[in-house]
């Protein structure tokens, strides 16, 4: 590999943007542990936790329809400032559990702010990256986010899963991530094309990209939402169960490797490898979950296979749309993932409630089977179609 990171030309803007991603992902990693922990301590089961997560993702769905117009109206920096403030304050308030429905309302705020803050910065990143280095740039972004998410549970391990200091730390990291963007406020990118791209249009343009994003978020969001509860059901403490999430994200360096692989390999091939690998690991987790360190290893390898899907599918989407439509395409792209996440949250919560949370690896193996089955059917159909055309000619 003659290509190295120096070829990316990581200028001042990119460095600050990558630092912002890292700090906010640390906050998100903390939340992956403290939110379900607080729910569990207050008597909520898998179904209620899945419902709360579904409401969080539902608010993101609503926001997706207005994101381009919001940024066009208030401009990028002001939009990011307000979402940062609301996200940070709501995170701290979530520590004070007063009622389930009040928590649901706060989750609506969290989901909306997360969507705006994440998609806006990713669109900014895609504009700054050069086309021929986009795969590696996205891989570097994904690696940084993974390391941040992995760091979150470690911070919780030090501060405590049900300690208000963990909630405050999450809020501070979110504010710090916005402060990294302030040096860039004089150079706001022109990414506010108000045109909205429908789900139907996105699917027709690239069905594989649509399905891969949907099922990736279905399984990954279910994994993050129920890992702590799953680990506790196996007899681990909340903090040690949270470290499984750290193991999952610790393989984040592989995201950069995938970025390099994309320079010579097609994205769809790496996506298929990712889903096949996840399926094998989920099945193995059902039978070999008795040893804590083996479970940690499986989570680590899972992160590598998810990286194949994540980086490849992002590159695939970015190549389908021009820069002026990236924020609209990104909003629809995230909406697809959000729909997958909400389906995974509800389905995973209900299945965990009825069949027991110990069987949740089987639950998240289902989307892998559906995706791979669809790909095999599609390729078989294309094969017969080509042969039929050859015979006619």
What pLDDT, on a 0 to 100 scale, did the predictor assign at position 194?
Answer: 59
Question: Rounded to whole angstroms, how far apart are CA atoms 219 and 46?
Answer: 16
The domain locations on the chain are 11-187+201-392
pTM tops 0.75: no
pLDDT tens for each residue of 181-192: 988 766 555 555
Q: Token digits for 223?
A: 């994994």
The 10 Å CB-count burial string (b at 16+, else e) for 284-301 is ebeeebeebeebbebbbb
Which backbone phi and psi does 69 adopt, to 5 degrees? -70, -35
Cα–Cα distance, 100 to 22 (Å, whole number): 31
HSE (side-chain half, CA atoms, 13 Å) at 240: 12
Residues 6+ apart with CB under 8 A from 338: 57, 60, 61, 64, 115, 217
Give the pLDDT confidence score for residue 390 in this predicted structure.
Answer: 46
pLDDT (0 to 100) of residue 324: 66
pLDDT of residue 321: 75
Tell the CATH superfamily of the 11-187+201-392 domain: MFS general substrate transporter like domains (1.20.1250.20)
CA distance 344 to 339: 9
Distance CA 5, CA 143 (A): 13
Per DSSP, the three-state class of 2 is: coil
| Cα–Cα dist 83/74, whole Å | 12
pLDDT for res 381: 57
Q: φ and ψ at 83, to 5 degrees?
A: -65, -35
Give the mean model confidence (pLDDT) for residues 281-296. 87
Q: For the chain, report the end-to-end CA distance as a whole number of angstroms.
A: 43
Q: Which pLDDT score, from 0 to 100, does residue 1 have? A: 42
Q: How many CB atoms lie within 10 A of CB 198?
A: 10
């Amino acid at each position: 590999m003659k290509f190295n990171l120096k070829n990316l030309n990581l200028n001042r803007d990119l460095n600050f943007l990558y630092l912002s991603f890292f700090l906010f992902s640390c906050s998100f990693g903390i939340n992956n542990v403290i939110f379900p922990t607080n729910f569990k301590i207050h008597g909520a089961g898998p179904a209620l936790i899945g419902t709360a997560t579904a409401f969080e993702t539902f608010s993101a769905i609503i926001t997706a329809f207005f994101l381009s117009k919001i940024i066009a109206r208030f401009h990028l920096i002001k939009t990011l400032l307000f979402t940062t403030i609301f996200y940070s304050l709501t995170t701290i308030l979530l520590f004070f559990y007063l009622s389930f429905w009040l928590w649901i309302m706060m989750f609506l705020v969290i989901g909306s702010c997360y969507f705006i803050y994440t998609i806006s910065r990713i669109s900014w990143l895609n504009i700054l990256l050069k086309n021929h280095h986009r795969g590696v740039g996205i891989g570097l972004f994904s690696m940084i986010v993974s390391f941040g998410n992995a760091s979150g549970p470690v911070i919780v391990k030090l501060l405590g899963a049900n300690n208000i200091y963990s909630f405050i730390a999450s809020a501070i990291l979110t504010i710090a991530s916005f402060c990294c963007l302030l040096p860039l406020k004089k150079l706001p990118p022109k990414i506010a094309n108000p045109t909205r791209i429908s789900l139907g249009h996105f699917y027709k343009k690239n069905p594989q990209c649509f399905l891969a994003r949907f099922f990736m978020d279905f399984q990954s969001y279910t994994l993050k939402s129920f890992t702590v509860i799953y680990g506790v059901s196996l007899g681990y403490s909340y903090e040690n169960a949270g470290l499984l999430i750290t193991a999952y994200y610790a393989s984040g360096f592989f995201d950069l490797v995938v970025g390099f692989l994309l320079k010579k390999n097609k994205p769809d091939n790496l996506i298929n490898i990712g889903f096949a690998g996840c399926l094998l690991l989920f099945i193995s987790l059902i039978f070999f979950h008795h040893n804590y360190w083996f479970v940690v290893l499986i989570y680590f390898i899972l992160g590598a296979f998810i990286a194949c899907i994540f980086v490849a599918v992002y590159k695939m989407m970015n190549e389908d749309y021009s820069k002026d439509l990236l924020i609209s395409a990104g909003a629809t792209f995230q909406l697809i993932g959000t729909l997958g996440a909400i389906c995974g949250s509800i389905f995973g919560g209900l299945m965990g409630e009825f069949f027991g949370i110990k069987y949740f690896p089987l639950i998240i193996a289902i989307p892998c089977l559906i995706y791979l089955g669809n790909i095999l059917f599609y390729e078989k159909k294309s094969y017969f179609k080509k042969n039929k055309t050859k015979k006619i000619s």
